[in-house]
Amino acid sequence: MKFSVNGKTVFADETLAGKRLVDFLREDLGLTGTKNACDIGACGACTILINDEPMKICTRRLAEVEGAEILTIEGMARTDGTLHPLQEAFISAGAVQCGFCTPGMILTAHAFLLRHPNPTRDQIRRALYGNLCRCTGYQQIVDAVESVIPYYQEHALRSHSFNS
């Protein structure tokens, strides 16, 4: 099987076709930024982007991503470690506490802002509906997403990655 993860081509043996994608990313590729929490597709902690669409991958198998382009939280920062403005915004707004929901929140918000660079606060809330946070009360998360609207309007309309 062949697909790309954060811009790099990845090959996986056919014997891994039935392995959960979240386990493959964490165990085989060492990309532990993607979290595994509920195991049943309910909380959004395992959300990544597959072909630019947010997907909860705790119930997805490796065979389902043949030929796909995958973006994980590790692919949001620049290769020199500089955080993406959306990541910085989460920190500045106090939108990260335990951090378990954060990678999924950020990737869901990223995909949303690329398609909707001028959202209302209510639209942001609805976009993040499938991502649960037990810590922040959501206000700071919505604040963080709202604060980077100017960045997406100016810089990210044609670019799905901070690195591209």
Instruction: Provide the CB-side half-sphere exposure for 124 (13 A, CA).
Output: 23
Tokens describing residue 26? 């964490």
Q: How far is the CB of 58 from ligand FES (least distance, A)?
A: 3
Residues in contact with ligand FES, shown as a per-residue x/- string from 48 to 77 under the rule CB under 6 A: --------x-x-------------------
Q: Looking at residue 123, what DSSP letter applies?
A: H
Q: Are 153 and 118 in contact (CB under 8 A)?
A: yes
Does the footprint of ligand FES cover residue 100 (CB under 6 A)? yes
Candidate residues 135, 147, 161, 163; the one interacting with ligand FES per rule CB under 6 A: 135
Does the footprint of ligand FES cover residue 101 (CB under 6 A)? yes
Q: How far is the CB of 153 from ligand FES (least distance, A)?
A: 26
Candidate residues 33, 44, 54, 85; the one interacting with ligand FES per rule CB under 6 A: 44
Q: Are 127 and 92 in contact (CB under 8 A)?
A: no
Torsion sign (Cα): 164, 155, 80, 73: negative
Does the footprint of ligand FES cover residue 136 (CB under 6 A)? yes
Does the footprint of ligand FES cover residue 89 (CB under 6 A)? no
Q: Which is nearer to ligand FES, 142 or 156 (CB)?
A: 142
Q: Which is nearer to ligand FES, 20 or 156 (CB)?
A: 20
Q: Which is nearer to ligand FES, 6 or 140 (CB)?
A: 140
CB atoms within 10 A of CB 26: 18
Taking CA atoms, 158 is separated from 116, 117, 127, 162, in Å, by 12, 11, 20, 11
Taking CA atoms, 41 is separated from 14, 58, 89, 134, 140, in Å, by 24, 6, 26, 16, 24
Q: Using CB under 6 A, list all residues that contact ligand FES.
A: 36-39, 41-46, 56, 58, 96-102, 133-136
